[in-house]
Amino acid sequence: MSDRVVLAYSGGLDTSVAIGWIGEATGAEVIAVAVDVGQGGEDLETVRQRALDCGAVEAYVADARDEFASEYCMPALKANGLYMDSYPLVSAVSRPVIVKHLVKAAKQFGATTVAHGCTGKGNDQVRFEVGIQTLGPELKCIAPVRDLALTREKAITYAENNNLPIATTKKNPFSIDQNVWGRAVETGFLEDIWNAPTKDVYDYTDDPTFPPAADEVVITFEQGVPVALDGKPVTPLQAIQELNRRAGAQGVGRIDIVEDRLVGIKSREIYEAPGAMALIAAHKELENVTIEREQARFKKTVGQRWTELVYDGQWFSPLKKSLDVFIEDTQKYVNGDIRMELHAGRATVTGRRSSTGLYDFNLATYDEGDSFDQSNARGFIELFGMSSKVASRREQGLAEG
């Protein structure tokens, strides 16, 4: 039997051409693997058939939407994962689940190599290959665009010469990656960082300049996970999808950032993540109510490191697994409701309630019913400032001497 290569297949021009290109360059048979992480677009059965028509010997389709939402997006939510305080890891969290299915298919179909469509300038090549090396250390990796010099011009010529069933005449000016957690847009005129995004950049969100009437939503969480919207039970996938719709209609979740890539270059990225950004805002506020102060302070440090690891393609690393344990432990009391107003590009928290919260009205109030003993404050301040006071006395004494 010929060697086999599993290809991460999107159904687009580059990966369709890569099927024959890999075969000619390596002599191997190609198994195309398409993973549905909520990216929308074409029906995956259509994508599967196209892979076969382009020369794949097998085409494997995985519906990973619920798996992706529950096992990948929810950990990102619990960590409040925002790279550079802005980017909710849209592409970064999808790569590990795709890798999982690529390695599974390689073992199922007896492949020795896994291929992906990344270039040599981006983060995804690292995310794919580090993940593949971790889950399938016996597998080799190739990247046709990077390793076999498959340019877009060559891809178009190859598709036309071989009568492949893929459109080759229209060139989208942008490079787009999307899933249920959000949408990433780059290249084209956006590479001039002075240029403002035009309306055609966006798809998940409507223009917040002329919003509809404000939309109020109540999000119910259990142990850090959304379980209901406006009292109606939802799965994680349903929660993200519904908030993509409602927050997206208000223009929530538009992000324009110059981002530090893992490979050492800066890149201008446009993101749309209405559901993700609304959920993270709600989750962070519920944590403010339910997590003890010192634990909350340290969780910010852990969450930032967790985010960096995931961004850098280290989803399966020992450190990330250890941080998972800490983050999961912090979520046991993150239960309750957050009321948000979605309007004009903003997701604003207007109410919170929790049966496991640490907010004590009688301690916080300045009105009748105050149970806080204010006489304790003087001694507390004296002790709290003692070290600074002693150090200051030393400095003054040395200065005078």
Instruction: Report the binding-site residues.
Output: 8-16, 87, 117, 119, 123-124, 127, 175, 259, 271
Count of beta carbons in the 10 Å neighbourhood of residue 318: 8
| Cα–Cα distance, 238 to 243 (Å, whole number) | 8
H/E segment holding residue 62: strand 58-63
Report the relative pairing of strands 58-63 and 113-115 from DSSP bridges.
unpaired
| Cα–Cα distance, 246 to 249 (Å, whole number) | 5
* DSSP state letter for 191: G
- Report yes or no: 180 and 37 within 8 Å, Cβ to Cβ: yes
DSSP states of 270-325? EEE-HHHHHHHHHHHHHHHHHS-HHHHHHHHHHHHHHHHHHHTT-TTSHHHHHHHH
Distance, C-alpha 272 to centroid of its chain: 11
Q: Pick left, alpha or beta for residue 256 (phi over 0 → left; psi -120 to 50 → alpha; otherwise beta).
A: beta
**Residue owning tokens 């999307």:** 178
- Amino acid identity of residue 184, one-letter, is A
* Bind-site residues for L-aspartate: 119, 123-124
- Amino acid identity of residue 364, one-letter, is A
Q: Which residues are catalytic?
A: 14, 95, 124, 175
| Cα–Cα distance, 362 to 237 (Å, whole number) | 38
* Bind-site residues for L-citrulline: 87, 123, 127, 175, 259, 271
**Residue owning tokens 């048979």:** 29
* Bind-site residues for ATP: 8-16, 117
* DSSP state letter for 188: G
